[in-house]
A and B are shown apart, each in its own frame.
Chain A
């Protein structure tokens, strides 16, 4: 089934991931507009909410929220563990689903018992089976993605019990509440880092774009970075790179360090 999805819809993607220099971004003007919109939503809504959340809630309560939204995702993770043929991970995820389920997902005794959490989604599953990312897409409210991962998001909805549980009229509310909580949790946990990234970027959009694609590539390989001759984005540019000259240097020796700033 996966192979069919890949070949039917994503054949063109593989060709577009060859350039190691930039993530393929043919709809950049549209992406930049949506990115600016998302950034505004962050500034006026998500960031202030995350700030209050961090200030008002004690750490243990924030941990409970985090544990809960992580636990809610475990059926999706489990389905993708299985689709990736990773039986060990599927065992760990099942154990987490049951053990943490005994605490309604509010605590995380499973990690202490050695069942590690590792996030999986259908975008990663496609990646494991060889599908390239395709072009970059910034989704309204949901943020950075690409063609493969957008399809992944849609497929993951089918693995999510929140899609089926409860009265049909209220189902979207559950899903949206879970997404919003998860977003606030993420923003609060990365509060300084995100603000810092905005402050230090020359081009915040371009920085997020490259970080997203590198991060996804690493996630597909479950963090096992192939260190032999390739970079995280699978190119060989580090190996091939030879500095042509150092300023003021005639010998080819490495220059001495400059006087540090400050």
Chain B
């Protein structure tokens, strides 16, 4: 079971790092994988803190959550990836419209029912970088009151400068970026290959999501 030992080792390292306070001299000694794990741990802890913060009203919590998403997810990267081959064919105006709608749609989707995350916890299980430009951080989201129902979540993080940007989240084997890309390409294909059809559909969907949030 070398893989398990690897994960365990990472978890132990992570625990030591957390216990040893995230002071600057220690941070320099960390490998990229360890820093990626710390990044995911900090980000999820902060996100869950925002969700559970009862001193803020729903709108403020939602705004703070959206800021976290915007800061740590590389929306432009994901947006282009999701549009796939159609990105190259899109006009500059279409690209701008699309990216703006795409980001709104992601943020609105993830913030609309975000109260459901309240009370959940995230544990980082380890990370991997196998000759790849990404670091994969493996984690579990679980309800402390029902530990049987843990959800496996893997984060695909792109190292940028001293930090990371998330470009994909894989939930129980289902990649959000691939899912969105396949859905969007189906919309474009059914619309006769026109990117405009997707942009119109996105706009409608964003309006609907925004109307629901009030």
State the CA gap A42–B120 with chains docked (Å): 29
Asked whether, in the complex, the Cβ of B70 is within 8 Å of the Cβ of A211, the reply is no
Minimum C-beta distance from A56 to chain B (A): 21
Asked whether, in the complex, the Cβ of B70 is within 8 Å of the Cβ of A22, the reply is no
Q: Which of A207, A218, A232, A255 contacts B183 (CB 8 A)?
A: A207
Listed stretches A6-14, A160-168, A233-241; interface member? A233-241
Listed stretches A90-98, A146-154, A194-202; interface member? A194-202
Q: Which of A201, A232, A241, A260 contacts B63 (CB 8 A)?
A: A260
Q: Type the 1/0 row for A18-35, where 1 means its CB is closer than 8 Å to any CB of B.
A: 000111000000000000
Asked whether, in the complex, the Cβ of B186 is within 8 Å of the Cβ of A203, the reply is yes
Is the CB of B156 closer than 8 A to any CB of chain A? yes
Asked whether, in the complex, the Cβ of B109 is within 8 Å of the Cβ of A200, the reply is yes
Chain A residues near B134 (CB-CB < 8 A)? 238-239
Asked whether, in the complex, the Cβ of B173 is within 8 Å of the Cβ of A219, the reply is yes
Q: Type the 1/0 row for A217-235, where 1 means its CB is closer than 8 Å to any CB of B.
A: 1110101010111011100
Is the CB of B44 closer than 8 A to any CB of chain A? no
Q: Interface residues of A toward B: which range?
A: 35 or more
State the CA gap A196–B136 with chains docked (Å): 27
State the CA gap A239–B168 with chains docked (Å): 12
Whose C-beta in chain B lies nearest to the C-beta of A217?
Answer: B173
Asked whether, in the complex, the Cβ of A228 is within 8 Å of the Cβ of B131, the reply is yes
Is the CB of B165 closer than 8 A to any CB of chain A? yes
Given A203-B190, A243-B76, CB of A232 within 8 Å of CB of B178: yes
Tell me which of B87, B116, B179 has the highest count of chain A C-beta atoms within 10 A of its own C-beta. B179
Tell me which of B71, B96, B186, B190 has the highest count of chain A C-beta atoms within 10 A of its own C-beta. B186
Chain B residues near A245 (CB-CB < 8 A)? 95
Asked whether, in the complex, the Cβ of B174 is within 8 Å of the Cβ of A257, the reply is no
Asked whether, in the complex, the Cβ of A260 is within 8 Å of the Cβ of B136, the reply is no
Asked whether, in the complex, the Cβ of B136 is within 8 Å of the Cβ of A202, the reply is no
State the CA gap A81–B76 with chains docked (Å): 43
Asked whether, in the complex, the Cβ of B182 is within 8 Å of the Cβ of A22, the reply is yes
State the CA gap A21–B199 with chains docked (Å): 20
Q: Type the 1/0 row for A179-207, where 1 means its CB is closer than 8 Å to any CB of B.
A: 00000000000001000100111110111
Is the CB of A73 closer than 8 A to any CB of chain B? no
State the CA gap A18–B113 with chains docked (Å): 36
Asked whether, in the complex, the Cβ of B198 is within 8 Å of the Cβ of A202, the reply is yes
Asked whether, in the complex, the Cβ of A258 is within 8 Å of the Cβ of B100, the reply is yes
State the CA gap A172–B114 with chains docked (Å): 43
Minimum C-beta distance from A242 to chain B (A): 9
Minimum C-beta distance from A117 to chain B (A): 9
Asked whether, in the complex, the Cβ of A262 is within 8 Å of the Cβ of B87, the reply is no
State the CA gap A100–B71 with chains docked (Å): 47
| A residues with CB within 8 A of B | 21-23, 111, 192, 196, 199-203, 205-207, 209-211, 214-215, 217-219, 221, 223, 225, 227-229, 231-233, 237-239, 241, 243-248, 254-255, 257-258, 260-262
List, sorted by A's number, 15 A–B pairs whose CB atoms are closer than 8 Å. Answer: A192-B113, A200-B205, A201-B183, A202-B205, A203-B183, A210-B178, A231-B178, A232-B178, A238-B81, A243-B81, A247-B95, A260-B70, A262-B66, A262-B107, A262-B111
Q: A206-B182, A218-B173, A238-B177 given; name 13 further pairs at CB < 8 Å.
A: A199-B208, A202-B198, A209-B182, A223-B173, A225-B154, A228-B130, A232-B174, A238-B81, A238-B156, A244-B88, A246-B76, A247-B76, A254-B74
A-B complex: 6 closest residue pairs judged by Cβ atoms: A218-B173, A206-B186, A228-B130, A260-B66, A210-B182, A257-B70
| B residues with CB within 8 A of A | 59, 62-63, 66-67, 69-71, 74-77, 80-81, 84, 87-88, 92, 95-96, 99-100, 103-104, 107-109, 111-113, 116, 128, 130-134, 136, 148, 152, 154, 156, 160, 165, 167-168, 170, 172-175, 177-179, 181-187, 190, 198, 201-202, 205, 208-210, 212-213
